[in-house]
């Protein structure tokens, strides 16, 4: 095995020699040689077509149509009555316009060992934390793959060593994260970017270990009556970089800088009849910037069986706040989100989510629509649309996206 494991593009390298040197041997020793093994292969192939309302406003964005192809197989190997397993999930996307969006990633390569009240995981995986719908403040373990999904919902695989303990007082998770993943950004020919391209080839770091810095996290989650909640502490490299102006070949670009942070977070949800009350809150400190707190809170109220049908409708309302105000790097510094979710409860699993956000400081508005339906046992379709209205020129981020209104159709073939 080589000294480094390379994620494509080549500029993103993570030294995980120790991680993978011990992955297979530990897994194999965890069960007797005579144990029955199982193997499963599944996954999906995806074709995406996107139409923009108009050409972009920056160099390289002189197009209105784009297409991409993605494949994500999943290999599962289990033994010891599935108390031990290895999951391998690679991901490949090829984009017609943006070479930065054409990329390869390992979403998961994980050995899992389960006992009666312990679970151990070693490898690469994805972990999701959060309860709110429109902005996930506390979801800090994995890096956002923003070229694959602009809204940050898609994540890059993260090297990790995890020990989880199940007790009567809740679940305790301890994370060691040996290796940092840089955030992906659209290239010169990509949409959903500012007027300055982000130079991902030359990121800087506060810590001298750079992407080899080892991060740590502890989380406690529990359920009491109608309440589900979690508390965590994180120390390590901030997943959201500070973008600084720099020069590359005589051209102004943005250079990512990754600082060290200490962050504490809370997520809580209360289920009371038809109500879901939701809260995410963080407190973050660093040496480079002032300490700050931020929160996302709201509710979802569901009307079941509308007009004596099988259709349910959920009304969503959330508010995002950041103590830093207009200086915040987050777009949800003083924003209201209103939306709705239709669930048809049919054999095709049809679901429709729509929403709109309003920035109280800059008066910018965004609207979204997400609809999905299973066509048969092997095919599904999804429709995504977004509209951005940046009325305040001082809101430089959304102003740069003002011509990126789009609609996307995705067909997925499962196997």
Assign residue 253 a region: left if phi > 0, alpha if psi is -120 to 50, beta otherwise? beta
pLDDT of residue 14: 43
Query: Residue 209: beta bridge partners?
Result: none
**392 with 21: CB under 8 angstroms?**
no
**130 with 267: CB under 8 angstroms?**
yes
The CATH H-level superfamily of 5-414 is Porin (2.40.160.10)
pLDDT greater than 70 at residue 31 = no
Q: Other C-beta atoms within 10 Å of 150: how many?
A: 19
Nearest Cα to Cα of residue 53 among 404, 409, 414, 411: 404
Please give the sequence-ordered ranges of beta strands (E in DSSP) within 5-96, or none if there are none. Answer: 5-7, 12-14, 37-52, 65-79, 84-95
Token pair recorded at residue 295: 């929160």
pLDDT of residue 84: 97
Q: Enumerate residues 6+ apart whose C-beta is below 8 A from 79.
A: 31, 35, 36, 37, 38, 85
**301 with 294: CB under 8 angstroms?**
no
pLDDT greater than 50 at residue 7 = no
Of 16 and 82, which is predicted with more confidence?
82
Helix or strand holding residue 242 (H, E): strand 242-248
Q: Residue 327: which pLDDT band, with cuts at 50, 70 and 90?
A: confident
pLDDT of residue 330: 80
pLDDT of residue 32: 46
pLDDT greater than 50 at residue 243 = yes
pLDDT of residue 192: 92
pLDDT greater than 80 at residue 348 = yes
Judged by average pLDDT, the poorest of 8-17, 56-65, 188-197, 325-334 is 8-17
Q: Residue 28: which pLDDT band, with cuts at 50, 70 and 90?
A: very low
pLDDT greater than 80 at residue 291 = yes
pLDDT of residue 332: 83
User: What digits encode the pLDDT tens for the residues 95-114?
Assistant: 999 999 999 999 999 999 99
**344 with 311: CB under 8 angstroms?**
yes
Token pair recorded at residue 105: 């990633």
pLDDT of residue 148: 93
Positive/negative CA dihedral, 175, 181, 183, 185:
negative
User: What digits encode the pLDDT tens for the residues 42-68?
Assistant: 999 999 999 999 999 999 999 999 999
pLDDT of residue 264: 98
Percent of the chain with pLDDT over 90: 79
Rounded to an integer, what distance in angstroms lies between the CA atom of residue 223 and that of residue 166? 12
On average, the pLDDT of the chain sits at 90
**125 with 161: CB under 8 angstroms?**
no
């Amino acid at each position: 095995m080589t000294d480094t494991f390379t994620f494509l593009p080549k500029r993103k390298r993570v030294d995980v020699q120790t991680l993978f040197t011990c992955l297979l041997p530990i897994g194999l020793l965890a069960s007797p040689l005579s144990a029955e093994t199982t193997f499963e292969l599944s996954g999906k192939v995806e074709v995406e077509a996107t139409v923009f309302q108009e050409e972009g406003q920056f160099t390289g964005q002189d197009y209105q149509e784009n297409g991409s192809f993605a494949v994500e197989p999943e290999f599962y190997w289990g033994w010891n009555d599935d108390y031990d397993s290895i999951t391998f999930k690679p991901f490949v996307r090829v984009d017609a316009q943006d070479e930065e969006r054409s990329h390869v990633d390992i979403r998961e390569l994980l050995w899992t060992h389960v006992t009666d009240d312990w679970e151990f995981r070693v490898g690469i995986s994805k972990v999701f934390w959060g309860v709110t719908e429109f902005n996930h403040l506390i979801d800090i373990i994995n890096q956002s793959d923003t070229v694959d999904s602009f809204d940050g919902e898609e994540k890059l695989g993260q090297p990790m060593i995890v020990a989880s303990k199940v007790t009567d007082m809740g679940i305790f998770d301890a994370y060691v994260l040996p290796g940092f993943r840089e955030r992906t950004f659209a290239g010169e020919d990509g949409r959903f970017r500012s007027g300055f391209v982000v130079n991902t080839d030359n990121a800087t770091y506060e810590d001298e270990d750079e992407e080899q810095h080892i991060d740590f996290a502890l989380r406690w989650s529990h359920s009491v009556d109608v309440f589900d909640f979690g508390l965590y502490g994180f120390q390590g490299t901030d997943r959201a970089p500070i973008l600084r102006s720099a020069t590359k070949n005589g051209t102004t670009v943005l250079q990512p800088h990754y600082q060290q942070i200490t962050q504490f977070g809370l997520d809580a949800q209360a289920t009371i009849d038809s109500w879901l009350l939701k809260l995410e809150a963080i407190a973050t400190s660093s040496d480079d910037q002032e300490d700050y707190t931020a929160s996302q809170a709201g509710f979802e109220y569901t009307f079941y069986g509308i007009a004596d049908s099988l259709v349910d409708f959920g009304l969503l309302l959330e508010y995002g706040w950041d103590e830093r105000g207009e200086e915040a790097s987050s777009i949800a510094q003083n924003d209201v989100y209103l939306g709705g979710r239709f669930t048809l409860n049919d054999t095709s699993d049809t679901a429709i989510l729509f929403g709109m956000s309003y920035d109280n400081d800059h008066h910018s508005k965004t609207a979204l629509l997400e609809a999905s339906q299973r066509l048969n046992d092997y095919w599904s379709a999804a429709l995504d649309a977004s509209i951005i209205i940046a009325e305040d020129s001082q809101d430089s981020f959304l102003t740069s996206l003002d011509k990126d209104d789009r609609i996307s159709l995705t067909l997925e073939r499962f196997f």
